[in-house]
């Protein structure tokens, strides 16, 4: 090897995946918007999946996911819930809202941050006259992340090949075992 030659770099799998991404920067206006609304519109949002828009190898796992979210006046993103394994970091960009958590409710506005770990129930709502806009950054849990909804006693379960919403019913420990 001559004095001008550079040694070959051995990249770890994440670095190789970064080199293969279809895009490394993007404007939020370029990200497709998805609207989600419950039947009575109590839960209503517009979302943009920033992580997916940045590209990557099909089926590749990212270390975290980023979404842009806008909640209209009088709505919540989703029911009060707690993840079994996921961390979520919220960064509020505009508007005003409330974050419900185990200790009560707190008002949030542009510049505020909120962090919830596994098992910490939370809900974000917009009680102002303009949309509440924020980013959520969540770790991408290896395996499955299930959600518990304390108000309704439901679980959102990931069974690998399919998902579902279930309610727990009391059963004897040995029921169905013998």
Domain boundaries, the chain: 27-145
CB atoms within 10 A of CB 124: 24
Q: Which two tokens stand for residue 135?
A: 């980013």
Contact (CB, 8 A) for 120 and 56: no
pTM: 0.78
**pLDDT at residue 17 tops 70:** no
Give me the mean pLDDT over the 126-154 stretch: 90
HSE (CB half, 13 Å, CA atoms) of 82? 13
**pLDDT at residue 131 tops 70:** yes
pLDDT in tens, 44-87: 999 999 988 887 665 567 788 999 999 999 999 999 999 999 99
Pick the CATH number of 27-145 from 3.40.50.720, 3.10.450.40, 2.60.120.10, 3.40.640.10: 2.60.120.10
Helices of type H across 1-140: 13-20, 50-53
Task: Give the pairing of strands 113-116 and 88-94.
Answer: antiparallel
pLDDT in tens, 92-113: 999 999 999 999 999 999 999 9
Q: Residue 87 and residue 106: Cα distance in Å, rounded?
A: 19
- Can you give the pLDDT at residue 162? 66
């Amino acid at each position: 090897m001559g004095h001008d030659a550079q040694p070959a770099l051995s990249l770890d799998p994440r670095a190789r995946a970064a080199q293969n991404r279809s895009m490394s920067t993007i404007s939020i206006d370029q990200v497709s918007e998805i609207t989600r609304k419950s039947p009575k519109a109590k839960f209503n949002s517009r979302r943009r999946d920033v992580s997916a828009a940045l590209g990557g190898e099909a089926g590749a796992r990212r270390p975290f996911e980023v979404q842009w979210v806008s909640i209209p006046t009088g709505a919540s993103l989703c029911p009060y819930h707690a993840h079994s394994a996921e961390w979520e970091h919220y960064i509020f960009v505009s508007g005003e809202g409330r974050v419900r958590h185990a200790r009560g409710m707190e008002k949030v506005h542009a510049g505020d941050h909120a962090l919830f770990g596994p098992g910490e129930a939370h809900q974000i709502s917009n009680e102002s006259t303009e949309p509440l806009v924020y980013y959520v950054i969540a770790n991408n849990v290896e395996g499955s992340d299930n959600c518990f909804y304390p108000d309704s006693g439901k679980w959102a379960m990931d069974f690998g090949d399919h998902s579902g919403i279930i309610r727990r019913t009391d059963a004897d420990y040995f029921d169905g075992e013998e």
